[in-house]
């Protein structure tokens, strides 16, 4: 990571901190689901997987996805992106610097969630390295979806509407327990469901899938995590492919 990216990311983080509403959404909202942990009567992986995955999902949706979407659209319309591209910064530098503050927030939220879960008796993640790897891939997936959404978002105000399909798509995974088994197989392909399966496997050593109660060893977590990681990688590739074909770095006419 170059000093140019870090410098741009620091500036983006400073602008982010100056917006109180953005800070509340980015930091406060992801921590709300953690209240469910304190209200859970049983300190088991089955009970803790849903609130912890919701916490991480909210961190991915707001600091990463929505923040990058609104930032990209606003700076595109203000011609900031055009000026940056005329200098030494590459397209990858610009995008990475805008996404980096949100990625840092996701990792901080994960640490807070791990500490709180341990204090409440749920234990620390069984495979913390796998948790971090999964979160970084998830950050890439939601950043890609943000760039794709920005391609058909006319202005920052419209982002509240254009982001709705992705928000619904991501959160639909948390409803799969109420769906028939045949429908669950399709919902498993959504990023929110993949993240929940990743938490079940990497954090609690449980088999992926709603209702699964079998446990796996530390080594086996890498194998069991392959399907949800594959889903997240597929969404990452799809998002960047769609964004590359449609995104614009200048104001839309």
Reported as a pLDDT band with limits 50, 70 and 90, residue 43 is low
pLDDT of 46 over the 80 cut:
no
Across 110-136, b (16+ Cβ under 10 Å) vs e yields bebbbebbeeeebbebbbeebbebbbe
Alpha-carbon distance of 79 to 37, in angstroms, equals 44
C-alpha–C-alpha distance, residues 167 and 96, integer Å: 22
Query: Structure pTM?
Result: 0.93
Ordered by start, the domain boundaries in the chain are 3-246
Q: What is the pLDDT of residue 1?
A: 62
| pLDDT tens-digit map of 109-133 | 999 999 999 998 888 999 999 999 9
- Burial environment of residue 39 by CB neighbours within 10 A (0 to 12, 13 to 18, 19 or more): exposed
Q: What is the pLDDT of residues 62-75, one digit of tens each?
A: 999 999 999 999 99
Which range scores top for mean pLDDT: 78-92, 139-153, 179-193?
139-153
What is the per-residue pLDDT for 252?
Answer: 67
pLDDT per position as a tens digit, 100-109: 999 999 999 9
Q: Considering only 21-30, 133-142, 153-162, which range has the smallest mean pLDDT?
A: 21-30
Among residues 67, 199, 65, 31, the alpha carbon closest in space to that of 141 is found at 65
The 10s digit of each residue's pLDDT in 193-234 is 999 999 999 999 888 876 666 788 899 999 999 999 999 999
- Residue for token digits 């959504």? 190
* pLDDT above 70 for 45: no
Q: What is the pLDDT of residue 136?
A: 97
Cα-atom radius of gyration of the chain, to the nearest Å? Answer: 18
Q: What's the rounded Cα separation, in Å, for the pair 251 and 253?
A: 6
Query: How far is the C-alpha of 230 from the C-alpha of 158, rounded, in Å?
Result: 32
pLDDT of residue 36: 82
Are the beta carbons of 32 and 52 closer than 8 angstroms? Answer: no
pLDDT value at position 181? 77
Q: How far is CA 102 from CA 6, 87, 118, 178, 213, in A?
A: 13, 24, 24, 31, 33
Structure tokens at 218: 């530390």
Alpha-carbon span 86 to 81, nearest angstrom: 9
Q: Strand, coil or helix: what is 187?
A: helix
Could you tell me if 176 and 193 are in contact, meaning their C-beta atoms sit under 8 angstroms apart? yes
In this model, does residue 139 exceed pLDDT 80? yes
pLDDT at residue 58 greater than cutoff 90: yes
Q: Which of the residue ranges 40-49, 111-120, 169-178 has the most confident prediction, judged by mean pLDDT? A: 111-120
């Amino acid at each position: 990571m170059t000093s140019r990216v870090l410098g741009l990311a620091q500036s983006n983080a400073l602008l982010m901190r100056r917006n109180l509403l953005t800070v509340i959404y980015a930091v406060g909202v992801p921590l709300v689901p953690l209240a469910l942990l304190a209200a859970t009567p049983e300190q088991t992986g089955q009970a803790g997987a849903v609130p912890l995955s919701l916490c991480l999902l909210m961190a991915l949706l707001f600091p990463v996805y929505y923040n990058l979407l609104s930032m990209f659209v606003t700076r595109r319309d203000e011609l900031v992106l055009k000026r940056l591209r005329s200098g030494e910064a590459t397209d990858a530098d610009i995008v990475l610097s805008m996404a980096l503050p949100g990625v840092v927030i996701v990792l901080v939220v994960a640490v807070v969630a791990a500490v709180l879960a341990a204090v409440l008796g749920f234990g620390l993640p069984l495979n913390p390295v796998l948790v971090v790897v999964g979160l970084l891939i998830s950050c890439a997936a939601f950043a890609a979806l943000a760039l794709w959404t920005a391609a058909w978002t006319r202005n920052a105000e419209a982002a509240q509407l254009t982001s709705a399909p992705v928000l619904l798509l991501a959160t639909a995974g948390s409803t799969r327990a109420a769906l028939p088994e045949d429908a669950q197989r399709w919902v498993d392909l959504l990023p929110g469901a993949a993240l929940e399966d990743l938490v079940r496997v990497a954090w609690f050593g449980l088999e992926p899938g709603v209702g699964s109660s079998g446990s796996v060893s530390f080594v086996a977590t890498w194998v069991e995590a392959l399907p949800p990681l594959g889903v997240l990688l597929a969404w990452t590739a799809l998002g960047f492919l769609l964004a590359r074909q449609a995104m614009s770095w200048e104001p839309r006419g």
